[in-house]
Structure 1
Amino acid sequence: MSFLDLFRPAPVRTASAAPDAKASRTGPLIALHGAGQPVWTPRDYAALAREGFARNPVVHRAVRMISEAAASVPWLLYENDAERDVHPLLALLSRPNPRQAGSDFLETVYGHLLVAGNAYVEAVSLDDTLRELHALRPDRMKVIAGSDGWPEAFEYTVAGRSVRLAAEGGEGMPPVLHLKLFHPLNDHYGFAPIEAAQVSLDVHNAAGAWNKALLDNAARPSGALIYAAREGGNLSDEQFERLKGELEDGYQGARNAGRPLLLEGGLDWKPMGLTPQEMDFIGAKNQAAREIALAFGVPPMLLGIPGDNTYSNYQEANRAFWRQTVLPLVSRTARALTNWLSPHYGEGLRLGWDTDAVEALSLEREALWRRLGRADFLTQAEKREAVGYSPDGGPDPAAAADPAASAVTAASAVTAEGA
């Protein structure tokens, strides 16, 4: 196929023509752009992880809060219309590999997704039985685009040695699951929240570095040592270097804080620089912290950042955190794991999650139950269905697949009754 063939209209297919295979019409364009070469991650993951998660307390706490909260939500498994309490898939998720429990494994996956925008999970099978799941580091993984423009393989590289993993599993399940956040400018990789907060991250880190340097120098801004000899002239090179060395060795650093400066004749010290108040140091740092928290979807109140009055109290902020940040992440992961793992165990399996086990949402459940209890216009079966249970007893699998939406629907059904 030539370059012009990509933009020519497709030929009219006659009745005797063989049917075309299913494929995206945009794939060849992506293939032409990528030329079948490895698609590298378009930013430095190591720098984001080092300057963000490892050195910035706001990023570190936001990632830990989201990943730990999402990993603590219990899984539910449904096969068609019945809930399964015991199943090999549930056993696998509770102990995905010998080195990690289920919550530790999911916390790693969520952490990779938040810091890199991508998370990779490898499935290990033995004798056609799925035995283990492993979270792979995103900075070691690259996508190999095929002739159709879409990923045909993943290449995992450690210490110069690479392992190629197929993106498709043929008749079986793919060996690698790629979770990614929406990226408007990349076909193969996700967009990390920390990337949207890079400017604020630099401001916050620079403010901390400036504050540390200020404290190391007796909490005083730097100044100028002025030479004004009576006969005029300048310091010789030897005098200049000697004076500079004495200042660095004898007056800089935390151990020399507050030490008086001894000046010889003709030398005068003139403090220079703006005060922290003039630079609005605290305000700029807190504003940068709020923008970082906004990018991750964590209410600033939960991170101890002052100056945010969006939420009336801590409980309201915590409920917003779970509803708007944690549960959508759990929902995304549940759907991805269902599509990836359920074909291995048979059709009809669906992963859900148990919001009744989330303590932060207990007040919502209590308010919902009170409203339903006073809603005399609803039958007992309708009340059971409104809180996620089937009318004839037992959990409702349809509601359990998206319990957050079920709770919202139920709450709206009884709003007229009041609190």
Structure 2
Amino acid sequence: MTRLFGTDGVRGLANVALTAELALDLSVAAAHVLADRGEFAGHRPRAVVGRDTRISGQFLEAAVVAGLASAGVDVLLLGVLPTPGVAYLTGALDADLGVMLSASHNPMPDNGIKFLARGGLKLDDAIEVAIEKRMREEWQRPTGGDVGRVSPYADAVTAYASHLVAATPEPLRGLKVVLDCANGAASEVGPRALREAGAEVISIHADPDGLNINDDCGSTHLESLQAAVLEHGADAGFALDGDADRCLAVCQEGNVVDGDQILAVLALAMRDEGTLVKDTVVATVMSNLGFVHAMKGAGVGVRQTKVGDRYVLEAMRISGYNLGGEQSGHVILSDHATTGDGILTALKVLQRMAATGTSLRELAGVMTRLPQVLVNVADVDKSRTDEDAVLAAAVAEEEAALGDSGRILLRPSGTEALVRVMVEAPTHDLAHDVAHRLADVVKAQLAL
């Protein structure tokens, strides 16, 4: 049986794959699993529920709330709020469970359900498996005063904005910034937090109508942000995704600053402040080799994990590191957040700019990105990627030719019958040639 939970909750086409019935069943099962684990012992259980701006979030929110309340859980409705805001308030309000309704950067017709444990932490795989097993089971329903109460929490945006500003002690006066809110969950709180921190803010794509989230805007479509930065003569621009857990940037010249570069800027800032735990940053195997070289040259260690912010978080939690992230713009500052937080990331980059009087272009220039080519090879037996001797020999030959100046990564897709061939090299032409030579070998050796 295919698991419902993916790497970041349950996602799918709203009202087809992700229905109100499924949302209700998942919520009831989550309440039962947490109750059996003793999470609710000695008190009335409480959950907080937030959502992004997708119109489907309205009926899914109603279904989640119905499921939780019918299982005896009191619910605080946070309304439209970023995923990291829901995570923060799960901890700040001492809730037993947090629920976020969002499909992040996915197109508007999709939606998703993400459960957060006490303290705003992502659920362990074992708990997700237990929730799936408990769905649609027979259960003793509470009655009378034992059913859950549902209340709005009107201070959600204010509380989260105050938390973000408190995490940014350096005033941002004198900085002009463009913020692309992706017509998503940060459309209100994002500009507010940056303004309260002292920046002059021009917000774009901050008029959600339930249908326009991520529509040619946000972190997956940077063109309008680049244009706005140049038009307004801004010092920097930042693009969030639909639930604002990721952030990409644009310098004053309109050039993109990706997640690796942002991570490098913040790693050096924290090292200089003496706050970077063990002088180490956590990244994934997809991080550009230029990032690894830059950190090594600066005396900062790099711990690399599998792709996915949950693996970055896991490594940070196990070893006590306090900075990690991905090339896609998920940046985790665990001194202030339990998940990636796009608004916090923007604030911290601006704080570094203000403290040093240095432009974002100069700060990001600490690393030189190596050209990177990614080729997806479809219709192959991805399970044999690490076993085929001919493929292994071809990779070894190309790696020997590249030496320390490049890198090769073959990664089976987690959801499709394909293998991703990623090559970094000193020139784009060389990376392209190596990637396509290896793609041909993958196709020949692993064809279905």
Verify same fold: TM over 0.5: no
Which structure's relative contact order is higher, taking Cα pairs within 8 Å and 6+ residues apart?
Answer: 1
Question: Which protein has the bigger strand share?
Answer: 2
Larger radius of gyration: 1
Give the structure-2-normalised TM-score. Answer: 0.22
Give the structure-1-normalised TM-score. Answer: 0.23
